[in-house]
């Protein structure tokens, strides 16, 4: 994959293949979680949602891996049950979600919450399952590609962050954006970065761009020093 290929890519599987061995488990986990959060309305099983939420926490803090493994196993159990009981699936109990959509959502949740980490192969399964959990698979894969661009940025020419730009205001804004998923504040972060002396067009344009932006956003991670 060339740099031009990366910048215009719309196939998450090819993008993940290119990233194999070049990224952290944390970034892969957050990509998997972001895929699941896009299909939250389809993931009507609370156990699956709890598994994804705990998996997300594990990206940045120590969690009980036994509990995470148990939750992931429960989501896997829901996936297997859904496969076995497709003909008896109570659509009316799942807000109109079809049996195939629900099955795919449970599969995505189980792999996104793998303990102790999400690896390349897991991320590929999550992306595929999440795209199958919605009516427009093509649109979903394009959105997943946008998530990868947001999380991994410019792998061919990584942006070097000057520590002098990490002012108290910049750091506080980035921490709040990350904690609250308040990505609508990114243009404010761009203004603060400029005031701190940042003139890097990739950083400023990304913060002022339309997104999507999720936890793991490369620009926010740079400010916070996350890998």
- Chunked into runs of 10 residues, the chain (227 residues) has average pLDDT values of 93 95 94 98 93 96 95 91 73 73 94 95 97 95 97 92 96 98 98 97 96 97 95
Cα→Cα distances 105→65, 84, 109, Å: 22, 15, 6
Find how far residue 15's CA is from the centre of its chain: 14
pLDDT of residue 42: 93
Instruction: Indicate the angle between helix axes 120-132 and 137-152, nearest 10 degrees.
Output: 140
pLDDT of residue 149: 97
User: Do 15 and 6 contact (CB within 8 A), yes or no?
Assistant: yes
For the whole model, what pTM was predicted? 0.94
């Amino acid at each position: 994959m060339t740099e031009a290929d990366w910048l215009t890519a719309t196939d998450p599987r090819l993008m993940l293949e290119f990233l194999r061995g070049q990224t952290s488990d944390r970034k892969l986990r957050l990509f998997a979680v972001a895929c699941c959060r896009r299909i939250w309305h389809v993931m009507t099983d609370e156990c699956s949602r709890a598994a994804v939420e705990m998996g997300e926490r594990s990206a940045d803090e120590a969690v009980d891996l036994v509990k995470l493994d148990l939750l992931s196993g429960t989501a896997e159990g829901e996936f297997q049950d859904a496969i076995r009981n497709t003909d008896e699936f109570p659509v009316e109990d799942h807000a109109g979600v079809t049996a195939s959509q629900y099955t795919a959502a449970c599969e995505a949740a189980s792999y996104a919450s793998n303990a102790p980490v999400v690896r390349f192969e897991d991320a590929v399964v999550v992306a595929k399952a999440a795209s199958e959990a919605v009516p427009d698979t093509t649109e979903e894969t394009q959105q997943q590609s946008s998530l990868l661009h947001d999380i991994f940025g410019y792998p061919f020419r990584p942006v070097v962050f000057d520590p002098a730009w990490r002012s108290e205001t910049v750091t506080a804004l980035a921490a709040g954006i990350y904690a609250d998923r308040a990505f609508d504040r990114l243009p404010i972060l761009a203004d603060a970065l400029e005031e701190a002396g940042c003139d890097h067009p990739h950083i400023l344009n990304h913060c002022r761009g339309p997104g999507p932006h999720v936890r793991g956003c490369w620009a926010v991670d740079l400010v916070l020093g996350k890998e």
